[in-house]
Amino acid sequence: MNLKDKHEQVLYPVVRVLTPAKSGQGHIGGSGTVIYSQPNPKDPEEYETFILTCEHVIHDAYEWKREIDTMLKRKVDKEFKKQVGVEIFDYVRMSDVNSSNSYRADIVAYDEHHDIALLKLDSPKRVQYVANVIPKNAIKDVKVFHETWTCGCSLLHDPFPNPGNVTYLHEMIENKLYWMGNGHSIFGNSGGAVFSAETGYQLGITARITGIQIGFGHDIMTWMGFFVAPQRLYEFFDEQELKFLYNPTDTYEKAMARRKAKEAAMKAMAVQQNANGEGGDDGAPEDGD
């Protein structure tokens, strides 16, 4: 990649994500990456834009409550979600931040175990610079020593890149696959991206750093970071019915229809179990927004 490519494929797609703290005081922050911004098939003048981040970055924006479902005639777990803040940066003279534009975004999907979340920008505006997730068939070509750029909002600073390499490809943390890299990252980088310095493809999501306890404090190894492996991005897309993010024949509308059909099937099963006296007090979860 030349200098222009690095800016457009690595720096510009990275955003800052701000989540209202459950305490009601301040925000929890991290990073995100715009991975999709395409015209709405029903209204081509309006765009649908999606941002990939970590689940733990937006964790405080949703909660589950035990409430009575009048159809099931019993208590069920209902989900309630808040919007989160997203700041997209505008640049001049290639490298200079001219402004940061604040948007609201809805939580579309998340998985706490994968530590992945997808946000949808609450705006019809097109986002010009979009990261390209590495294609499935190219993942096998990434080896240790592969040069990378780790880009995110370290300590909630405006986004900036750090060079590095892929250093390990088979790190299992809580039974999930991570890749390790030595591009420096710290708190605030979570939800940002690790990019291939060769192709510009997004290889994964910055998610964890290494710390060791020394006395009463901790020492952080910023050069020993773990990012969500690209294989797991596709697992998440498929499990959450989000194939439109990589399959051009699919659409967001179709994806949401599949998700609603799944939820309806789960609720119908719970109703049947309740009718048969099999369900006890546990019911199917519901999206209460």
Segment 75-85, tens digit of pLDDT: 778 888 999 99
What's the mean pLDDT when you consider all of the chain? 92
pLDDT exceeds cutoff 90 at 181 = yes
d(CA 6, CA 151): 11
Task: Tell me how far CA of residue 172 lies from CA of 3, 110, 137, 207, 263, in angstroms.
Answer: 35, 20, 22, 13, 31
What confidence category does residue 70 fall into, taking pLDDT thresholds of 50, 70 and 90? confident
How many helices (H) and strands (E) are present in the chain, helices listed first?
4, 15
- Separation between Cα atoms, residue 14 and residue 10, nearest integer Å: 7
pLDDT mean over 29-49: 97
Q: What is the pLDDT of residue 27?
A: 85
Question: Is residue 40's pLDDT more than 80?
Answer: yes
* Average confidence (pLDDT) over 20-35: 89
Cβ–Cβ < 8 Å for 203, 7: no
Strand partners, 160: 152
3-245 to CATH, choices 3.10.110.10, 3.40.920.10, 2.40.10.120, 3.60.15.10: 2.40.10.120
Over residues 203-224, mean pLDDT? 84
Do residues 178 and 20 lie in contact, with contact meaning Cβ atoms separated by under 8 Å? no
Span 212-219, average pLDDT? 75
* pLDDT given at position 164: 98
pLDDT of residue 269: 79
pLDDT value of residue 25: 78
| 289 confidence band (pLDDT: 50, 70, 90) | low
CA distances from 271 to 69, 158, 279 (A): 11, 49, 8
The 10 Å Cβ neighbour count of residue 118 is 25
Q: Which of 202-211, 230-239, 250-259, 267-276 has the lowest mean pLDDT?
A: 267-276
Q: Which of 144-153, 213-222, 245-254, 276-285 has the lowest mean pLDDT?
A: 276-285
Q: What is the mean pLDDT of residues 184-201?
A: 96
pTM of the model: 0.90
Element spanning 259, H or E: helix 252-275
Q: Phi first, then psi: what are they for 233, rounded to 5°?
A: -60, -45
**Residue 13 confidence (pLDDT):** 99
pLDDT per position as a tens digit, 113-145: 999 999 999 999 999 999 999 999 999 999 999
Tell me which H or E stretch contains 274. helix 252-275
Q: What is the pLDDT of residue 73?
A: 67
Phi–psi pair at 77, nearest 5 degrees: -85, 125
Higher pLDDT, 283 or 240: 240
pLDDT for residue 285? 56
Instruction: Report d(CA 64, CA 41) in Å as an integer.
Output: 33
pLDDT value at 9 more than 80: yes
